[in-house]
C-alpha cells in the first residue's frame, strides 16, 4: 500500500531514541531493505530530511540518497505497516495514523 485510504503518504512517527527498544527490535528483525526511490515515493520525508541537515529537492549539498550511512526498509511497527530510514543506527519510523487500514 503506497498511501492510506485518504491518499496520504506515510508520515514520520517516531525515532528509536524515543521508542520502546522491544518495538524497534521487532521492527528491525522483520525488515526488508528497499531503495531510496521507493522510500521517497511512499513517505513524506521533506521535513525530517531538512531537519537532519540534508539537501532536499534541488538544494546543493549532501542528499540522503548519496549518504552511505543511510539505508531504507519496509517492516511493521507495533502491528502497523511502516517504512523506516536507518541513519548510523538511528531508526526514523514512518507510519499511517492508527485509523488507517492495516497493510
13: which 3 cell numbers?
A: 512517527
The model's pTM: 0.87
Neighbouring C-beta atoms of residue 7, cutoff 10 Å: 7
Q: Please write the tens of the pLDDT for every residue from 44-102.
A: 999 999 999 999 988 999 999 999 999 999 999 999 999 999 999 999 999 987 766 66
pLDDT at 40 over 70: yes
Instruction: Judge whether 85 and 101 are in contact, CB under 8 Å.
Output: no
- Max CA pair span of the chain: 38
What is the CB-side half-sphere exposure of residue 72 using CA atoms within 13 A? Answer: 17
Strand-strand pairing, 70-77 and 90-95: unpaired
Amino acid at each position: 500500500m503506497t498511501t492510506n485510504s485518504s491518499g496520504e503518504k506515510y508520515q514520520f512517527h517516531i525515532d528509536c531514541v524515543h521508542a520502546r527498544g522491544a518495538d524497534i527490535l521487532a521492527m528491525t528483525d522483520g525488515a526488508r531493505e528497499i531503495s531510496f526511490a521507493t522510500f521517497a515515493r511512499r513517505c513524506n520525508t521533506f521535513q525530517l530530511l531538512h531537519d537532519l541537515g540534508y539537501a532536499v529537492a534541488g538544494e546543493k549539498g549532501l542528499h540522503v540518497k548519496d549518504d552511505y550511512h543511510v539505508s531504507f526498509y519496509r517492516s511493521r511497527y507495533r502491528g502497523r505497516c511502516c517504512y523506516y530510514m536507518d541513519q548510523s543506527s538511528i531508526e526514523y519510523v514512518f507510519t499511517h495514523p492508527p485509523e488507517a487500514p492495516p497493510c
